[in-house]
Structure 1
Amino acid sequence: MIGHADVLPIPRLLAGRLDAAASAFLAEAGPRIDFSQPPGEAALVPADSVSWRIFKNQVALFIGGVTAVLLEMAEPKVRDGVWQHSSFRTDALKRMQRTGLAALMTVYGARSQAEKMIAGVVSRHGRVTGRTTDGEAYEANDTELLDWVQATASYGFMRAYHIYAAPLTQTERDAFLAEAKPAAELYGAAGAPTSERQLDALMEQKKERLVPSPVVFEFLDIMSRVPALPALARPLQILFLKAAVELLPPWLRARLGLGRQWSLSFLERQTVKVAAATADRLLLRSLPPVQSCRRLGLPDDYLYRRAH
């Protein structure tokens, strides 16, 4: 277990601006969700979980989310299902905002609200069918594909936090994967990995299915241009993309053709680590982690001052 993580002391005015920028990003995703309501209602994941600690880190979520998408894009059925049916090409920022809000709702939202949101996603996915560019039929609610999508998300968020923010023990990594099971089952991913050993086994099993595609580079190009971070942090965006690429298994990165231009220099890697470590201590009071603590009667700094 890691010792105390203190709240980062920053001027009130700067904290307010950061809080407002982060809130605005989520607010644009759709109707505002009050994570502080209803009082006392538990989430799908308990507050003392590894998940609550990891998902409070905005840098780890951004990096890990990009890693997850790269892994998804390597699977032809998932790639074409996303690329043929989503608005990512035309409105990448809105898609990112909705995806980020859904991830936060799955971890922090009151159980009744999270279940309602997930049911809506499953219903929409039921209408997503088609054929890949190579002629393979796919359905978004195919359990095998859902297991892979769940696995890629868990891999990305866990590795991003572990490598860039703070190291996780083997027990903590396994716990993080197991904590996702209730939500994964609601999404239809009942076979998603619940331990790192199972995750590694699935990666090995998927090896022959994961292939290169121009879509991978199109995705990274869009991600390098979309204003996904507040203006002051925008120079870090390309570093975060490189950090995401570096989390891929080396054999897959080579197969996808993501060469040296997507590697971090020593100084860039240290910059990413400082940013992630800073985010781990940055308490933003209007965001879901703090609002959800309030819903459960916990202090605003609960996720920062508890031993973890």
Structure 2
Amino acid sequence: MLGPSTYLGWNVDFTQPFGEPAFTKPDSVSWRIFKNPVALAIGGICAVLLEFADPRIRTGVWEHSTFKTDPVGRSKRTGIAAMVGVYGPQSAARRVIQGVTNMHAQVSGLTPDGVAYSAREPVLLAWVSATASYGFLTAYDRFVEPLSVEDTDRFLQESLPITRLYGVEHPLASLTEFHTLLEQLMPGFEPHPINEEFLTIMKSGRAASFVPRGMQSMVVHAAVSILPGAVRERLNLGPEYNLTDRGRRMTQALGSWANRVPIPKSPPWDAALRLGLPRSFAWKSPAAQADILEN
């Protein structure tokens, strides 16, 4: 039996209690997407840029978290919290999400321009949730394998129990709703040095010391490439962030490879053990998964 694992500060054992379900099913679109570290890296960077475009969210994160002193660690902890929602036992997911919402309850203040903000403000909660969904879905679709409209809708439906635990009153039901919310918030978006500082850190090699810096730079450019054009223009992320054709092909090849290669002792690996499934279940084809679940 594997013991509890501490994932960057979150004490979660994805292997226990044996048989306890996650909020998403093993054959879900969520399990398919979140097992892929390439899609998560690209989608996560994209989501941060979309969040930081709004000065209220940017100020709240900068002033009330470890982001300005440990942006890499903070980003990874956010990613693990998302993993717990998808793969963790429901009891652990509730505990972690409650911890996050308790922290959010203490986040409020004024932006440098004197605009009041609160992390519990419904529209800001909705935008943070929406940016994550948009980032992960779009990154997977562009750089791993195409997603159908049905897959996209399933992913958003699967995430409803989790987003509601975070206090989101109106979770996305479609990517059309993402663009509607984007249009609502866009007038308040602005460029800021923090955005470029974040991207510089993500390209520097600090995010994953075992990954070549050139590859990390490619991931950053891929993340910028999936931003809605109007947002990229508003953030002044110019041609220096363009993803070359060669970079696109290499990123797609990396994403496709990551979709087939199991990662031992990762959340999807451990979650499969908890549910009595083959450890590599998340990396199997939908047809193979269906056969396993039927038998």
Any idea what the Cα deviations from partners look like across 1:207-237, whole Å, max 9, x if unmatched?
2222222221122122222521242443300
Instruction: Give the secondary-structure state (helix, strand or coil) at the position aligned to 2:261.
Output: coil
1:102-117 equivalences in 2 (<5 Å)? 102-117=81-96
- The one-letter amino acid paired with 1:289 is P
- Alignment coverage as a number of residue pairs: 283
Aligned to 2:264: 285
Asked if 2 retains the 8 angstrom alpha-carbon contact of 1:59 and 1:275, the reply is: yes
1:7-50 Cα deviation digits (max 9, x unpaired): xxxxxxxxxxxxxxxxxxx9561254220111111111111210
Question: How far 1:192 sits from its partner (Å)?
Answer: 2.1
Instruction: Say if 2:114 is the partner of 1:135.
Output: yes
Cα separation, partners in 2 of 1:74 and 1:232, compared to 1, 3 Å: closer
Query: Structure 1, residues 115-144: CA drift from partner, whole Å, max 9, x if none?
Result: 011011111111111101110111111111
CA 1:127–1:238 in structure 2 vs 1: closer, same or farther (change >3 Å)? Answer: same
Q: 1:69 aligns with which of 24, 48, 54?
A: 48
Instruction: Please tell me the residue identity of whatever aligns with 1:57.
Output: N
Task: Tell me how far apart the structure 2 counterparts of residues 34 and 234 of structure 1 sit (CA, whole Å).
Answer: 32
Matches within 5 A, 1:117-128: 117-128=96-107
Give, in angstroms, the shift of residue 290 of structure 1. 1.2
Residue identity matched to 2:52 = M
Q: CA deviation at 1:303?
A: 1.9
TM-score by length of 1: 0.88
Distance, in Å, in 1 between the alignment partners of 2:209 and 2:165 is 33
In the other structure, the counterpart of 2:291 is none
1:300 matched to 2:279? The reply is yes
Alignment match, 1:152: 131
d(CA) in 1 for partners of 2:211 and 2:42? 18
Of the structure 1 ranges 242-251 and 197-206, higher mean CA displacement relative to structure 2 is found in: 197-206
Contact 1:53 1:303 in 2 (8 A): yes
Partner residue, 2:292: none
The answer to which of 58-67 and 201-210 deviates more is: 201-210
The one of 120, 142, 150 equivalent to 1:171 is: 150
CA distance in 2, matches of 1:232, 1:247: 22
Amino acid in structure 1 at the alignment position of 2:144:
A
Structure 2 match to 1:270: 249
Q: Secondary structure at the match of 1:37?
A: coil
Once residues 306 and 164 of structure 1 are traced to their aligned partners in structure 2, the CA distance between those partners, rounded to angstroms, is 18
Bigger drift between 200-209 and 148-157 goes to 200-209
Note if contact 1:180-1:194 (Cα within 8 Å) is conserved in structure 2.
Answer: no
- Structure 1 equivalent of residue 235 of structure 2: 256
Partner of 1:18: none
Q: Residue 71 of structure 2 contacts residue 198 of structure 2 at CA under 8 Å; is this kept in 1?
A: no
Amino-acid identity (%): 43
Q: Is the 8 A contact 1:35 1:110 kept in 2?
A: yes
Do residues 206 (structure 1) and 192 (structure 2) align?
no
Query: In the TM superposition, what is the alpha-carbon distance from 1:78 to its structure 2 partner?
Result: 0.7
Most deviating of 64-73 and 196-205: 196-205
Residue 193 of structure 1 pairs with residue 172 of structure 2: yes
Task: Choose 249-258 or 30-39, whichever is displaced more.
Answer: 30-39
C-alpha separation in 2, matches of 1:200 and 1:142 = 19
Q: 3-state DSSP class of the match of 1:231?
A: coil
Query: Structure 1 residues 232 and 118 mapped into 2: Cα distance closer, same or farther (>3 Å)?
Result: closer
Q: 1:189 to 1:152 in 2, by over 3 A?
A: same
Cα RMSD (Å): 1.6
> Aligned partner of 1:163: which letter?
R
Aligned to 1:240: 219
Structure 2-normalised TM-score?
0.92
Unpaired runs of 5+ in structure 2?
288-295
1:77–1:138 contact (8 Å) kept in structure 2:
yes
